[in-house]
Amino acid sequence: MIIRPLLGLTLLGGFLPSAHAAADLIRPKVVVVTMFEPGADTGDTPGEFQFWVEREHLDRVIPLPAASHDVRANANGSVIGLVTGVGNTNAAASIMALGCDPRFDLRQSYWLVAGIAGIDPADASLGSAVWADYVVDGDLAHEIDAREIPDGWPSGYVPLGKSRPYEQPRRTEDYAAGQFYQLDPGLVQWAWQLTRDTPLIDNEQMQKRRATYTGSPNAQRPPFVMIGANLAGSTYWHGKLLNQWANAWVGYYTDGKGNYVTTAMEDSGTLRSLTYLGRAGRADPKRVLVLRTASNYDMQWPGATAAESMSGEQLGIYSAYLPSLEAAYRVGSRVVHELVANWSRYSDHLPEAPQP
């Protein structure tokens, strides 16, 4: 009796189904990655996934028991979507589960991480959309309790392998260790140029909250699309002093090239898994975009405390919860539709931003 192998080793080092099953492979052009969905995927109060499911007709449910959530796909499999679960560990596990599943060939797929975030009022306003040029991990560190910070230290956070905050020289292995990631600059610029004129929602509630951030001109602007760095940490932090830490932490790991704008909880975990999947020939880490939209400011307004500000910014009642979900879809879907519609142009070569 001949037993046909279920898996075959590809020249790229990854595993794909045998030739007998190759016709059944799902080869998505775009993988949409979201992080949470509080209820059903359709028909109730939305999380990050629901607009994608309903508007992109991700009607096919593909069970993925090793991940946080089943995969959904459109009719022809050109777009699939996933909910990773909240936090870096959930994100890393779910992305790896998808990337190693032999039913999917993701070697040419583009990845769009699309979710909401806190935003630095020095840089942007509620409802704004930010394409990440850098993602910096906010979890990997040494930490001293705030009550024991030595005199003269700006923070109790110390980079791994160092003895004081922001000690130079920075370790050359930080990039390989997953402390930070630089997304492909040409792809990020292309996405921003394609979407920078996207109409975004503004409303009276957002305007009232913006008005409290006196002294921060960018915080008082109507929503807009920009490029900026993302700080990913599973601890939901808030407040002026931690905002200062976030700016300094991102500046340290990017050698001053990245400007902290958004804070989220999953993106370094997602990029760590995609890095390893790239090594295995299962995905292309250069084909990754991270889009975060501002549901709330990451610190208090002048005259308020961090605790007062955070108590009014809870999931589902963020100042710009629904507008930020809408922004993630409106901006992100323009990239998805362009990639799918012009796949012959983008399947083998990354998009290039038009020269000014």
pLDDT in tens, 34-72: 999 999 999 999 999 999 999 999 999 999 999 999 999
Q: How far is CA 309 from CA 124, 223, 240, in A?
A: 17, 20, 10
Give the phi and the psi of residue 126 in degrees, each rounded to 5.
Answer: -55, 140
**What percentage of residues in the chain have a pLDDT greater than 90?**
86
- Indicate if the pLDDT at residue 155 is higher than 70: yes
Q: Contact 14/107 with Cβ under 8 angstroms? A: yes
- Any alpha helices (H) in 61-220, and if so which ranges? 88-100, 174-177, 185-195, 204-211
Give the phi and the psi of residue 215 in degrees, each rounded to 5.
Answer: 85, 0
**Partners of 181 in the β-ladder:** 135
Mapped onto helix, strand or coil, the DSSP state of residue 114 is strand
Q: Tens digits of per-residue pLDDT, 91-131?
A: 999 999 999 999 999 999 999 999 999 999 999 999 999 99
Residue 141 burial by Cβ neighbours in a 10 Å radius (0-12, 13-18, 19+): middle
Note the pLDDT of residue 355: 58
Note the pLDDT of residue 10: 39
Mapped onto helix, strand or coil, the DSSP state of residue 169 is coil
Note the pLDDT of residue 176: 73
Q: Which pLDDT band, with edges at 50, 70 and 90, does 317 fall under? A: low
Mapped onto helix, strand or coil, the DSSP state of residue 179 is coil
State the Cα–Cα distance between residues 210 and 238, nearest whole angstrom.
17
- Indicate if the pLDDT at residue 4 is higher than 90: no
State the Cα–Cα distance between residues 237 and 135, nearest whole angstrom.
17
State the Cα–Cα distance between residues 252 and 141, nearest whole angstrom.
13
* Residue closest to 201 by CA, chosen among 218, 224, 219: 224
Average confidence (pLDDT) over 134-141: 96
Q: Which pLDDT band, with edges at 50, 70 and 90, does 8 fall under? A: very low
Domains of the chain with CATH codes: 7-140+178-346 (3.40.50.1580)
Q: Contact 72/53 with Cβ under 8 angstroms? A: yes
State the Cα–Cα distance between residues 353 and 187, nearest whole angstrom.
7
Q: Which pLDDT band, with edges at 50, 70 and 90, does 177 fall under? A: confident
CB within 8 A of 247, min separation 6: which ones?
120, 259, 260
Task: Decide which of 309 and 196 is more confident.
Answer: 196
- Give the predicted TM-score (pTM) of the model: 0.92
Note the pLDDT of residue 293: 98
Note the pLDDT of residue 14: 42
